[in-house]
Amino acid sequence: MASIPTLDSGFTRVTELRAPPPEARLALLRRAKELGIEVGVVVAPIITRSGWRQDLERLFKALAELQPSVVYGESLHARGLNLARLRAAGVEAQAGPAVDGEVGRVFEELLWEHGLRGAYWREY
């Protein structure tokens, strides 16, 4: 299981300073599958910044090629310093019940559209 919140490596350099870039995570999962290991993906946190839907669609296309056993996802939670840290990094994002519902709807549509098995973890 690996987390891949986005394929935008520039964005991950801002939001996940010490994590491997998304391309490296996908490469690791591909290699694991080649070795016969069952793989799964957690798409989290889904950060609802400008263009988040297109970003999620792009990620799901890559996941459809990978065909992981399961794909889970959840949106950014508004608790703690999550939103403040993003703002400090110059990222405007939304969070809360309405956003969580919208992200969940889009996530579940993409699972179905790409023939993937999984679930969206709703916060609210």
- From the candidate CATH numbers 3.80.30.30, 3.40.800.10, 2.50.20.10, 1.10.3720.10, the one assigned to the domain spanning 2-120: 3.80.30.30
The residue type at 118: G
What pLDDT does residue 81 have?
83
Q: What's the mean pLDDT in 1-27?
A: 93
Phi-psi sector, 54: left (phi>0), alpha (psi -120 to 50), beta = alpha
User: Domain segments of the chain: what residues?
Assistant: 2-120
* CA 14 to chain CA centroid, nearest Å: 15
Q: Indicate the pLDDT class of residue 28, thresholds 50, 70 and 90.
A: very high
